[in-house]
Structure 1
Amino acid sequence: MSNKTYNVGVVGYGLSAKIFHIPFINDARSFRLHAIVQRSPKPSDDAAKDHPEVKVYHSTEDLVADSDVDVVVLTTTPATHHELAIQAMKHGKHVLVEKPFTPTSEQARDLAKAAKEQKVLLTVYQNRRYDSDFLTLKSLLDANKLGRVVEFETHFDRHRPEMPAGESWKTKPEDYSAVFDLGTHLMDQVVSLYGLPERITGFVGTQRGSRNTTGLEDSFTAIMHYPDNLIATAKAAVVSPEAQQLRYWVRGEKGSFKKFHLDPQEDQLKTGLRPGQQGYGVENESKFGTLATVGDDGKIVEERIPTVSTNGYTAFYDQFAKALDAKDEKLLPVVPTVAADVIRLVELVRQSSQEGRTLTV
C-alpha cells in the first residue's frame, strides 16, 4: 500500500475519463480525484454536477497551475497528448497518458526524455495488461503449462460491417487506424511477455469494402517474428460474423490455450458496475477458456480454466502508486520507452503493409 495519497487531475471528461479512469482513481487507496478539466459542460454532461466534491477547470493551463495536483491523467485525443504532457511535466506533475500514447514514436520518445529531464514519472494506460483473461493466460505461461510456445494469437475481432457513426478521432482517417487504436493494446500484451520481435509483417486496410468511402483503416493483422521460431499474431477485424469471437489461441509443445470473448470489465463498467462491487471483474463460467495438454499416453486432454478474478484496472493505479512512492521508473506499470517501442511497431506494421514486405524491427 502506498505511503501517500496523490491528488489527481483528469484532463477530459468523455468515455475514457468516466469509464476507464475515474472509477479506478476512486477505488485506489493511494489516489484522490482532485480536479477535472471539462472545456464545454452541458446540462446532460456536467462534471461539476457529477462530482460536486472536486474542482472543475475549463482549461489544462488552470489545472497544471494548481499546486495541489500531483498527477495529471490525460484522456484527450491522441493528437493532443504530446503537447499536454509536456505542459504538465514542466509544472512538475507526474503524468498518465491514455493509449494510444502519441501519434508517432518520435513524439513518444520525446516525452520519455522530457520526463527524465523534469524528474517526474510518466506512464501509459495500457490497462489491458490487467485484463482477467490475459492474466489467466499469463499464469499458464508462468507455470509452463504450454511448454515452448510456437504460435501466439491475440484477437480483437467484432462484426461491425457498417461505418461508425458520430464525430470523433476514431472516425477520421487522418487520425485513426485500427492498428494504432486496438493494435497498441494487442501488441503491448505480446511485448510485455516476449519483448520486441526481430521482424514484423503487416496487413492494414479495410474489410468494409464499398461501405468505407473515407479510407478509414478498420482492420489489421500484424505478424511478429521472434527467436526460437515463435510467431505472434495480433489481429483486429470488423467483419467477423461469429457467435463467439476468438480472443486467444496460444500453442506450445506441451499444450494449447484457447479463449473466446473479451474481458468482462468494459461491459460491466458501461452498465454501471464498479470495482469493489459484487461480481465486478468476474467472468461467467460459460466463457472460461480451454487448456489442452498432452497426456503421458500421448492423448490430448482438455480442461476448462477458470478466468482469474482480480480487482481490475485498479491494479494499474496501485502499481503506479508504488512507482511514485519509490520514485522509480522501473516500477511503473508501463515504462514510457516500452510504450514508445509499441508505437514504433504500429509504424512498422503500416509501412510493411504499404511496401508489401517483412521489416526488421
Structure 2
Amino acid sequence: MAGKSYNVGVIGYGMSAKVFHIPLIQVTPQFVLHSIVQRTPKPNDDASKDHASAKIYHSAEDMFADSSVDIIAITTTPDTHFSFTKSAIEAGKHVVVEKPFVPTSREAQVLVELSAKTGKLICVYQNRRWDSDFLTIKKLLDEGTIGRCVEFNTHFDRYKPARPETWKGTLGMDQAGGVIYDLGTHLIDQAYVLFGMPASVTGIFANQRNDGAAEPDSITVVLQYGNGGPLVTVKAGVMSIETKQLRYWVRGTEGSFKKFHLDVQEDQLKAGKKPGDSGFGVENADSAGLLTTLEDGKPKKRAHENVQPLTYAALYAGFARAIEGGGADSVPVKAAEARDVLKIIEAARESAKSGKTIKV
C-alpha cells in the first residue's frame, strides 16, 4: 500500500526554484509539486506553462491560506525568509527554506522556538553538505586515513570581475546579502558539520574588484578550535584566474588531501539532469582529489576518487522521513544548526569591522 503523499508549494520561480527545489521535489516519492507562487509571469518565463498541473498563485499569502498545502519551499531572496517562514509555520505548514536561512541569528532563534512550539518542521537548504567531495573528506576524517586534522582549507574562488545584479550583489549584509551569506554560508556550514562551533573567529573582508562598491566581494575567515582542534580557513575570492580552482586542502597528522574543481551536481541540474539519471553527481576521473600519506616514512601521493554520491536529493528524502514520523531530531539541516552558522558569520563580520579576533 502506498504511503501518504504531501503537497509542496514553492514560493518564488527564479533559478533556485527551477534548478534545485522543483527537480528535487519531483524525485522525492512522498512529495507532490502542488503549487507555485510567481508574482509576475513573462511570456518566456511562465510557471503555468512549465508546470501545467500545478496551481499558480501570485502572492505568498494565497498559498499560506491553501489548506491543501502541507509543505512550503521558500526560494525567494534572503530578506524575505524570516517573514515567509514565520507565516508558513503559523499557517500550519512545514518549511524548506533556502540558505542563508534568515538575516540574523536572533531571527533564527525566534523560528527555532516557533517550530518547537507548533511541531512544524524547518529544514534549511544547505545542499553542499551532500557534495560528493565533501562527503569524501568527511569519510577520510571519520576513518582516520589522514590522522588528526590540523588544518582545513575550504575555497570557493572564481574569476568574476563584474558584480552580480542578483541579491548576491545588490543586498547589503544586514539583509543577508553579499559573499559572506552566499558562498560563505556554504563553506562555514561544512566546517560546522565537521568540527562544530569554533572557539574564536577572525574575519577579513575585501573588495577585490576595486569597483567602489560599499559591500565586500571577497572573504577570508579563520576559525580556531581549541584543545588540539584544527585551524580552519574559509576563502572566497572573485579575482582568481586559474585553469582549475582549489576547493579543499586538508592536512592531518598522517596525511593530506587536496581537491580541485566544484561538485558537478549544480551544473548537471542546470543542464536538465536529475538525481537518479545515469552519472548524476559523478565526477570525471581526472577531477579526483589527491591523497598523500606516509609509506615507509615517505610521502606517497595518489588519486583518490570521490565516494558514491548521495546527491542533493538526500536532503529532500531526509526531510520527507522527518515529516513522516522521524520528527525534529531527524531533519537533515536543522534550523538550530543554521542559527549557529549565522552566529559564526556575525562574529566574522564583527571581526572584519573591528580588526580583532572574536570569541564565540
**Maintained 8 Å contact 1:147/1:255:** yes
**What does residue 169 of structure 1 align with?**
167
Specify whether residues 3 and 189 from structure 1 end up closer, same or farther in structure 2 by C-alpha distance, changes over 3 A only.
Answer: farther
| Shift in alpha-carbon separation, 1:229–1:86, aligned structure 2, 3 A | closer
> What TM-score do the two structures reach when normalised by structure 1?
0.96
| 1:1-361 to 2 correspondences below 5 Å | 3-164=3-164, 166=165, 168-174=166-172, 175=175, 176-209=177-210, 212-227=211-226, 228-295=228-295, 297-361=296-360
User: The residue matched to 1:186 in structure 2 has which SS?
Assistant: helix
Checking the alignment, whether the CA contact within 8 Å between 1:96 and 1:123 is kept in structure 2 is yes
Percent sequence identity over aligned pairs: 50
Q: Secondary structure at the match of 2:281?
A: coil
Segments of 4+ moved more than 3 angstroms: none
The Cα shift of 1:141 comes to 1.2
Structure 2 contact 167–178 (Cα < 8 Å) conserved: no
Number of residue pairs the alignment of both structures matches:
355
Q: 2:169–2:178: 8 Å Cα contact kept in structure 1?
A: no
Write the distance in 1 (CA, Å) between the matches of 2:229 and 2:332. 29
**Aligned to 1:196, what secondary structure does the other structure show?**
coil
State the alpha-carbon separation in 1 of the partners of residues 212 and 72 from structure 2.
38
Distance in 1 between residues matched to 2:125 and 2:118, nearest whole Å: 20
Q: Which amino acid aligns with 1:10?
A: V
**AA at the equivalent of 2:49:** K
Alpha-carbon shift at residue 327 of structure 1 (Å): 4.7
Tell me, yes or no, if the aligned pair for 1:38 and 1:56 is still in contact at 8 Å.
Answer: yes
1:148 deviates by: 0.5
CA displacement, residues 8-38 of structure 1 (integer Å, 9 cap, x when unaligned): 1000000000001111110111211111111
After superposition, the CA RMSD in angstroms is 1.3
Deviations 1:160-216 (A, max 9, x none): 12333x3x222225242211111110000110111100111111121111xx22223
Cα shift readout 1:226-249 (whole Å, capped 9, x = no counterpart): 121410111100011111100000
Query: Is the Cα–Cα contact under 8 Å of residues 130 and 310 in structure 2 kept in the other structure?
Result: no
- Does the 8 A contact of 2:179 with 2:217 survive in 1? yes
CA distance in 2, matches of 1:79, 1:24: 24
| 1:311 Cα deviation after fit | 4.4
In structure 2, give the amino acid aligned to 1:238.
V
Aligned equivalents of 2:67, 2:299: Cα separation in 1: 61
Deviations 1:280-327, CA, capped at 9 Å, x for gaps: 1110111000110011x1011112111223241110011111211225
Could you tell which deviates more after superposition, 138-147 or 303-312?
303-312
The residue identity in structure 2 corresponding to 1:191 is Y
Deviation at 1:218, TM superposition (A): 0.6
Contact 2:205 2:352 in 1 (8 A): yes
The amino acid of 1:103's aligned partner reads P
Aligned partner of residue 52 in structure 1, secondary structure: coil
Q: Retained in 2: the 8 A contact 1:146–1:256?
A: yes
AA of the residue aligned to 2:300: V
Moved more, 131-140 or 254-263: 131-140
Distance 2:205 2:54 in 1: 43
Gaps of 5+ in 2: none
Instruction: State the distance in 1 between where 2:99 and 2:169 align.
Output: 17
Report the Cα offset of residue 137 of structure 1.
1.0
2-structure distance, mates of 1:304, 1:278: 23
Kindly indicate whether the alpha-carbon contact (under 8 Å) linking 1:276 and 1:311 is maintained by their aligned counterparts in 2.
Answer: no
